[in-house]
Structure 1
Amino acid sequence: MEDSNIPELLSARLLFTVKPSLDATSLAAALRQEFKQVDNSEDSLLYFFPDYPVTFKEGELPAQVMVAAAERPSGADYLAAALQQSWHWSEAATVVAMCDHEVIVTDFMTRTLAYTVRVELFQKALDAFVQLLNPQAIYFTTSDKVVEPVAYLERGRAVLDGLLKVRFFNIADSATQEMFLDTLGLHALGLPDFQIRFADLDPNQVVGALMSYSYYVFEKGPIIEDGNTIQGITPADKWICHYTDSLIGPERLVIQLETAP
């Protein structure tokens, strides 16, 4: 088991029913509504952000965001698993089925930035593109989550919206009707996700707890140590934290929560 997760590129796919027009100048203008400085050449969909410098051994470069158009892949639907876990948006499957076109947004040369800075850069850039292009849905790759664009733009202080998902699974052949919940998305920032197996708790309350723990780790850093206890659903509940490999893919380091008696 690795000591930590390796940061991954952040990526979102904007889904459309009608093929969008990608004009480099218009996209740059939209970005400048969110950022003080944005550089790019007139015919390039690669954007540079001088206010977000990234330091390497060879020197310093500005963080970058890339945009690319794509057609929906044929064959097996890569969104099938995401749509099965779209409890937050009941119309997701219907909307996605009508979309044949995509615009892919990815951060680049950013993985050595502080993860809070990366999230700020990526989410602000995505805000600009969503408002300009008006997609019908947004798919976040690292969290395998489909999000309604209007809800995304109205997220307020929920800075991890889209980049973080809580997944729910019923455990087959469980005599006590056990359930399994985990988070997906923190691993892409180099942080641990969470997982928990239980039978006698309200799953909606567990979802709320996992979201709270995720934001705590995002704001404070990976300060939870193996063997620490944290408050569960009520002040009287003490859950024990253990670092381990994820039980459900993708493979990553997670904090497994044990509901202490």
Structure 2
Amino acid sequence: MLFFKKKKKEEKQDSEQKYIGPDPVFIIHLLMEDKCVIPEKESMVKIMEKHLGDVQCNKFENNMTGFLALNYTTHFKDAEDAPPQLMITECQKIEKPLLDDVSRSQLWDCEDSEQILNTCKYQVIANDMMAVGMYYKDRADMLVNYAEALVEMFPSCKAVLFENSKKMMTREEILNNSYPKETKFIYYAVHARYFKNQDSDDYLVDTLGMSTFFMPDLQYYFHGMNPNNAIQSAYSLLCYMFENENPIKSGDTVNGNVDGEINPDVKWKVYYTDAMMKPERAVIDVNTGEFASGKR
């Protein structure tokens, strides 16, 4: 957990506020303790087809492998639709830290994160290209399947770091999780962070990663409530937004979280505003009623 200092000036609320996004490229870091060898082409194709259906290996060189994901479609405004491209680099030495101090402090939900970062000196980088025009649920499905293919392809991988949200998961978590398939991306690659105000007993919980889908992140500023309740509320609300193309407008209410359970009898009002923590972006601020801090 990191401490923060509240801005003196309250953020301006704006019902027409737009979020920053989307992320044109989704980047995945596969962390290794030792340098690994890229699998043979036939092995890579077999694993990719297992998870993603038909693929075409359109580039296979010493430093980069590219696949067209033929079962998925990217929509272009002034050109024909085409499949997105999935790229995988060679294994390379990590030359500089992948996370700054703030991001490193937020790996609270990844077991042994410090040991992983300290011992993993190599990485394979994977990303998607020409995917920003995909229907967001298709892109999420593709990226989840891609991540699962990658951890099978590289058994020496210790953990996966999703660049866009700075969330880390161990290889075992990805191989053995029981998240619902429809919203698995939310739990994989959208990160809930939490901070404490250094001048008070106020807490801030926010999320990072929804810009991949042209959607805003969430923000909770509160006191007197278990931060886990805000985190549980955030993931529940993110799944609702994802499943329903984010129908939320400023002034709407959402179900509150009481004693760790979503309670439809408790309503929390929401507004679009500016994020209190970097990166700068618009978020949906959730007013937690009797637990809310700050002015709204």
How do 1:56-71 and structure 2 match up within 5 A? Answer: 56=76, 57-69=78-90, 70-71=92-93
Residue 102 of structure 2 corresponds to: 81
Q: Is structure 2 residue 110 aligned with structure 1 residue 108?
A: no
2:285 equivalent among 250, 256, 260: 256
Residue 143 of structure 1 corresponds to: 165
Residue 20 of structure 1 corresponds to: 36
Instruction: Structure 1 unaligned segments of length 5 or more: list them.
Output: none
Instruction: Structure 2 unaligned segments of length 5 or more: list them.
Output: 1-13, 258-262, 291-296
2:68 equivalent among 14, 24, 48: 48
How do 1:1-261 and structure 2 match up within 5 A? Answer: 3-8=18-23, 9-23=25-39, 24-41=41-58, 43-44=60-61, 45-56=65-76, 57-69=78-90, 70-74=92-96, 76=97, 78=99, 80-134=101-155, 135-156=157-178, 157=180, 159-160=184-185, 161-174=187-200, 177-233=201-257, 234-261=263-290
Which deviates more from structure 2 when the two are superposed, residues 210-219 or residues 80-89? Answer: 80-89
C-alpha displacement of 1:127: 0.8
Identity of aligned residues (%): 24
SS in 1 for 2:87: strand
Provide the C-alpha distance between the structure 2 equivalents of 1:106 and 1:77, rounded to a whole number of angstroms.
16
Contact 1:187 1:253 in 2 (8 A): no
Which deviates more from structure 2 when the two are superposed, residues 4-13 or residues 113-122? Answer: 4-13
Q: 1:223 to 1:42 in 2, by over 3 A?
A: closer
TM-score by length of 2: 0.82
Q: RMSD of the alignment, in Å?
A: 1.8
Provide the C-alpha distance between the structure 2 equivalents of 1:42 and 1:209, rounded to a whole number of angstroms.
43
Provide the C-alpha distance between the structure 2 equivalents of 1:81 and 1:13, rounded to a whole number of angstroms.
18
SS in 2 for 1:232: strand
C-alpha displacement of 1:42: 6.0
Q: Which has the higher contact order (CA 8 A, sep 6+)?
A: 2
C-alpha displacement of 1:115: 1.1
Contact 2:59 2:67 in 1 (8 A): no
Contact 2:31 2:123 in 1 (8 A): yes
Contact 2:35 2:122 in 1 (8 A): yes
The runs of at least 4 aligned residues of structure 1 exceeding 4 Å deviation read none
Contact 1:192 1:254 in 2 (8 A): yes
C-alpha displacement of 1:240: 1.1
C-alpha displacement of 1:79: 5.3
Number of equivalences: 258
C-alpha displacement of 1:85: 1.3
